[in-house]
């Protein structure tokens, strides 16, 4: 039996990052993966979807070349080539993780891992051979998959999840997207930009329901302007796949509607991969589909840890990575502080993009804060006007008494790259006045942050 200091089960953005940090700290480390290194994020999630979205954005630019004083005739897309580029990007990233494993002298064990008592893992390879490994510490990072609803059973052909959505052989003419979280909205934008007739069905009253209400309403307007149909406060109650396409029965406040499409994309959340990995063999406690952990990701059984989507925190790649590093550093007896889950940025990469951190206006009021709210529209931004991306705005929320930056919400071009300013500022307990007096470069989209803060304090110049 091979013995390690740390074994990581799963090689997604939580697992592989944890393994690298463990190796950096001198631990003899192994990582177990049943598919491709990099997990869902690199192979079927964050990275390949961004490649698809970039192709959609470039296609839109070409179609609107005349808006920039340019001529582009006979512009068309090759859907299969777009998909192939995305898969090539994912493959390249996965190979990058392979390189990092070798560079950091991490042993990669291919196969399906099952936890055993006594800090052991049994790994079954593709040929059926089982090998047992032991470690002083085992980190569970098995991630999650597309959640299935009883009324929307995925068959991988007519009713699909995100995995099939990024590798279809043929572009559908009509698509119904069920769920308007980040995954649903990103695919709705991509397929609509490619020319598919898209309808989004959302159970709650607003699209991207976790976002500030004003952001949600602006996104709905922007999406409708591009031709995407939006049905909120609606629910798909049944689907009929017996014909050539799909007929979906949608319950709305005005009665039932029948929608017809080639494909239905189910984007109603995720289901953690905690079944059949041996949790019950070890006695590891779970609750509502999540592994219970303390602030340093220790489960109820000593020597067994869990990070990423399988734990109660936000199911985001950057959260999993941060948890993996913190977990390993705690194992190494380093001084670490628990992760602040109130200061985690969220991003949606449609067009316009959405990025946010902290409290929404509604949440701040519900918590009893007296607040100052500032907004700055990109229609008043010189850089946005020059680049032809005037949709959207930046919204900031401050505690009126102490100037604490409670929340920041953005919708517009490139805002997913801008939100880090708010994350760092909140981490450093920066006040509104300090942001206001920090000189922002002109002309940039990021000026809108300073201008929004100025608006909150009655000092805005450009609106």
The pLDDT tens digits of the residues spanning 282-330 come to 999 999 999 999 999 999 999 999 999 999 999 999 999 999 999 999 9
The enclosing H or E element of 433 equals helix 432-437
Q: Which of 157, 148, 166, 170 is nearest to 236 (CA)?
A: 148
Give the tens place of pLDDT for each residue, 4-32.
Answer: 999 999 999 999 999 999 999 999 999 99
Equal fold, 159-268 vs 352-456: no
As a whole number of angstroms, the distance between CA 15 and CA 9 comes to 7
171: pLDDT strictly greater than 90:
yes
Give me the mean pLDDT over the 108-121 stretch.
Answer: 96
* Of 164, 205, 217, nearest in space to 187 by CA: 164
Q: Which CATH number fits domain 352-456: 3.40.50.300, 3.30.390.30, 3.40.50.880, 3.40.50.1980?
A: 3.30.390.30
Confidence band, pLDDT 50/70/90 cuts, at residue 2:
confident
Residues involved in catalysis: 442
How many Å apart are CA 134 and CA 117, to the nearest integer?
Answer: 10
Tell me: cis bond preceding 434? Omega within 30 of 0 counts: no
**Cβ-contact 393, 377 below 8 angstroms:** yes
- Count other C-beta atoms under 10 Å from residue 106's C-beta: 23
Kind of pairing, strands 371-377 and 270-272? Answer: unpaired
Domain spanning 159-268: CATH 3.90.79.10: no
Q: Where are the domains of the chain?
A: 2-145+271-341, 159-268, 352-456
What's this model's pTM, rounded to 2 decimal places? 0.94
What length does the chain have? 463
Residue 254's H or E segment, with its range, is: none
**pLDDT(144) > 70:** yes
Q: Is the pLDDT of residue 40 over 90?
A: no
Q: In the predicted model, is pLDDT for residue 1 greater than 80?
A: no
Give percent of the chain with pLDDT exceeding 70. Answer: 100
Neighbours of 340 (CB within 10 A): 11
Do β-strands 159-160 and 144-146 pair in parallel, antiparallel, or remain unpaired?
unpaired
Contact indicator for 208, 348 with CB cutoff of 8 Å: yes
Q: What is the CATH number of domain 2-145+271-341?
A: 3.50.50.60
- Residue 405 forms beta bridges with which residues? 398
């Amino acid at each position: 039996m091979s013995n390690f200091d740390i074994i990581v089960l799963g090689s997604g953005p939580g697992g592989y990052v944890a393994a690298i940090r463990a190796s950096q700290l001198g631990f003899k480390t192994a990582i177990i993966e049943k598919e491709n290194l990099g997990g869902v994020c690199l192979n079927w999630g964050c990275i390949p979807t961004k490649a698809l979205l970039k192709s959609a954005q470039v296609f839109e630019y070409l179609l609107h070349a005349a808006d920039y004083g340019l001529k582009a005739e006979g512009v068309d897309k090759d859907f299969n080539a777009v998909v192939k580029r995305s898969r090539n990007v994912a493959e390249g990233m996965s190979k990058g993780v392979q390189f990092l494993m070798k560079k950091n002298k991490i042993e990669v064990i291919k196969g399906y891992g099952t936890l055993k008592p006594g800090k052991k893992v049994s790994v079954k390879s593709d040929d059926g051979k089982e090998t047992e490994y032991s470690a002083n510490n085992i980190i569970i990072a098995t991630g999650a998959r597309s959640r299935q609803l009883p009324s929307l059973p995925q068959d991988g052909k007519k009713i699909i999840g995100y995995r099939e959505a990024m590798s279809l052989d043929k572009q559908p003419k009509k698509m119904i997207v069920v769920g308007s979280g980040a995954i649903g909205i990103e695919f709705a934008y991509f397929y609509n930009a490619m020319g598919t007739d898209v309808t989004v069905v959302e159970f709650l009253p607003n699209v991207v329901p976790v976002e500030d209400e004003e952001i949600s309403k602006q996104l709905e307007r922007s999406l409708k302007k591009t031709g995407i149909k939006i049905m909120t406060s609606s629910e798909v109650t049944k689907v009929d796949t017996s014909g050539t396409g799909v007929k979906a029965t949608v319950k709305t406040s005005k009665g039932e509607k029948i929608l017809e499409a080639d494909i239905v994309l189910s984007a109603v959340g995720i289901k953690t991969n905690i079944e059949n990995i041996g949790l019950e063999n070890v006695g590891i406690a779970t609750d509502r589909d999540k592994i219970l952990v303390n602030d340093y990701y220790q489960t109820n059984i000593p020597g067994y840890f869990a990070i990423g989507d399988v734990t109660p925190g936000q199911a985001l790649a950057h959260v999993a990575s941060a948890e993996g590093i913190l977990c390993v550093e705690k194992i190494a007896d380093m001084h670490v502080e628990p992760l602040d889950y109130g200061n985690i940025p969220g991003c949606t990469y449609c067009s316009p993009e959405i990025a946010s951190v902290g409290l929404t206006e509604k949440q701040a009021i519900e918590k009893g804060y007296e607040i100052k709210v500032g907004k700055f529209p990109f229609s008043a931004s010189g850089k946005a006007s020059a680049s032809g991306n005037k949709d959207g705005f930046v919204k900031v929320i401050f505690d009126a008494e102490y100037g604490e930056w409670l929340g920041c919400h953005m919708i517009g071009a490139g805002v997913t790259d801008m939100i880090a300013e708010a994350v760092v500022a909140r981490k450093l307990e920066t006040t509104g006045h300090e942001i206001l007096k920090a000189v922002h470069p002109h002309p940039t989209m990021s000026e809108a942050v300073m201008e929004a803060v100025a608006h909150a304090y009655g000092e805005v110049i450009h609106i």
